[in-house]
Amino acid sequence: MIYNISITTTKTKNALNIQDFSFRSNTSTAIIGTNGAGKSTLIHAILGIKAGFDIKAQNNNTPYQNNIIPKREQLGVVSSLFNYPPGLSAKNLLTFYQFFYKNCALDLFDSNLLDKTYEHLSDGQKQRLKIDLATSHRPQLAIMDEPETSLEQNALARLKKLILLRNTKQLTTIIATHDATVLESCEWVLFLKNGGIVTYEPLDSLLKSLALTFEFVKKPTTKDLLALLKDF
């Protein structure tokens, strides 16, 4: 859905070098790279919440205006930069979202915690609630910045199932991640290094390249891929 992306910096240091790039639509893309590669910076620039960048792009055939992503009613976002006001319970937040999205429901979040206020939830509980509120209404485009943060294994497995379900529904998902389980659920991989694109290709294709480059006897896993990013 997001295509013809060109990002220029208004700062002296060029943290991103992305020109005329398009994400694959109706599928999932994992953005990977070592720390400082530009994963979160790219996510924030696309969302228009990163100062110091000018972005030219289109979302669902509508151009960006003033660095702001259009068609936001079709967008779900998970980011550590987005939080909710104190004093609101999880139930308040769910009710608010259900007012706009009738099919908004809970999947990862424990319904027994609905009466707790947002600020009294643990980091993991907050993250599960954020994911549910951002994705349960099945937005055409979901953008997530390290959604695995603070999640235990059970929640990671459910997050993987959610991404796989979005794949089957041909919904577009863009995820910056360090996690092998999340990466495994994505069909395409955008590999960044020093703010530039190393490759953008299907996950299976990248794993095959990894096997040839490093002479794996068995097919490498997504865990192997993440471990070898600095050497790729």
Which pLDDT does position 20 carry in this prediction?
96
Mean pLDDT per 10-residue section of the chain, whose length is 232 residues:
88 78 98 95 91 90 91 93 93 94 90 97 98 95 98 97 97 98 98 96 96 91 93 76
- 117 forms beta bridges with 89
Does domain 2-231 correspond to CATH entry 3.40.50.2020? no
Q: How far is CA 59 from the centre of its chain?
A: 16
Boundaries of every domain in the chain: 2-231
**Separation in Å, CA 52 to CA 18, 57, 145, 176:** 14, 16, 19, 20
Dist CA 96 CA 100 (whole Å): 7
Residue among 207, 231, 209, 232 at smallest CA distance from 221: 207
Total-model pTM:
0.95
